[in-house]
Structure 1
Amino acid sequence: MNIYFLRHGQTSENTKSVYYGSLDVNLNEKGIQQIKKAAKFFKNIKIDKVYISDRKRTFQTASIIIGNKKDIPIIVDNRLNETNFGDFEGKNYDELVKLYPEECKKWIEDWKTFRPVNGETFIEMYTRTSGFMDDIKNSKDENILVVTHSGVIRAALCYVMDANMDLFWKFGCINGDRVTIKYEYENFYIDSITHCD
């Protein structure tokens, strides 16, 4: 089985370098062009099923990839949502340090288990991503497209590497990046990581 993880195209929030996961924003023009470029790779691949988060940016990305192939099911799975940064959403790091100095200190000291006000921890995001990966093992499909977010893709790579969250920051993941993970003989492995640009 081939599992193609694709990070959604660029949004205006990406250009501002702000933290956002739960903010529901559209692709910008560059993001649309990134995904049109990514779609060329999938042109000759028969995608059996598409999984997306419940954010507009992943639905828009998936729609560009599959085009007019209306027979491909798109399944919304909120386990694929980006980390919810709670009250940190929409703010850059400099703003956060000014507004939440104590919280930022705790975040630096223990980034895995720190919870922003009204948000979630990275461990919680990793746990739901792991649950998705556990379930996908049972799929009978040959080619699955998963359109999601940077944090979820990094978490999936950690899962494949049996590294929990320890390797989370060792992977780059820009908008439009594609990661191919294969599942064969009851084993996940990373086949390729491809940058969009």
Structure 2
Amino acid sequence: MEVYIIRHTPVLAGKNICYGQSDLLVAETFLQDVQQFKSKLPANFDRVFSSPLQRCVRLANALELDNVLLDNALMEMNFGDWENKNWDDLDQDDLNSWMADFVNVKTPGGESLIELYERVKFFLDNLRLQPHKKVLLISHAGVIRCIWAYLLAIPLQHIFKIPVNYMETFVFNLKVTADLDSIKKMP
């Protein structure tokens, strides 16, 4: 199965703001961003899955995609009490504890990276059982990094080394088992 995954367009968020599952508005450049990208995306997807956050749903709508299913598994990491707060304003003890082991430690009121990873892995393992030939996922940087980690067996403590820009698209081949999967960046 050929799977395309797109990160959403830029959002309206202040500098240095922690956001994950906060339902932020898209930036003023949204329509221009979509128009520049639209012609690069292939057509005729068997199925489109999107995070239910509006920055992804609006992109799906603007791309005029059919068969869009919203799936919570594609939501960004839940930063809990840290959502919409400036990173500099977070409790330093909580932040240091999380930074020391962000893979396993949950953010206050939120989730850990391993929980996000397991959610994404479960989604992909279910997707690989479907009869689709070409699928599109519209999601977030954290989810995309977890897909990379899963498909390429990258240790989770290294996933922030993977750059994932707004509107960046990756294509991967999802096979019957994970050891046969492959991934590439879309030109």
Normalising by structure 2, we get a TM-score of 0.91
2:182 maps to 1:189: yes
Indicate which of 79, 90, 103 corresponds to 2:84.
90
Give the SS at the match of 1:191. Answer: strand
Could you say which residue in structure 1 is the equivalent of 2:27?
A: 28
Match of 2:74 in 1: 80
- Kindly tell me: are residues 90 and 108 of structure 1, through their superposed partners in 2, closer, same or farther at Cα, counting changes over 3 Å? same
* Larger deviation, residues 29-38 vs 150-159: 29-38
Moved more, 19-28 or 80-89: 19-28
Instruction: Please point out which of 62, 79, 87 is paired with 1:64.
Output: 62
Give structure 2 stretches of 5+ with no counterpart.
none
Instruction: Specify the alignment match of 1:176 in structure 2.
Output: 167
Q: Which 4+ stretches in 1 moved above 4 angstroms?
A: none
| Deviation by residue 1:53-83 (Cα, 9 ceiling, x = unmatched) | 1211110011122x2x5xx211111011100
For the 8 Å contact 2:173–2:183, the answer to whether it is kept is yes
Deviation at 1:185, TM superposition (A): 6.5
Q: 1:138-196: CA deviations, max 9, x gaps?
A: 122221110000000000010100235143122101111111111246421012255xx
Residue 40 of structure 2 is aligned to residue 47 of structure 1: no
List gaps (5 residues or longer) in structure 1.
Answer: none
TM-score, L = length of structure 1: 0.87
Distance in 2, matches of 1:48 and 1:26, equals 28
Larger CA deviation: 178-187 vs 133-142: 178-187
Once the two structures are superposed, residues 9-59 of structure 1 have per-residue CA deviations (whole angstroms, 9 ceiling, x without a partner) of: 11112x5231111211221222332232221112x4211111011211110
Q: Is residue 101 of structure 1 aligned with residue 92 of structure 2? A: yes
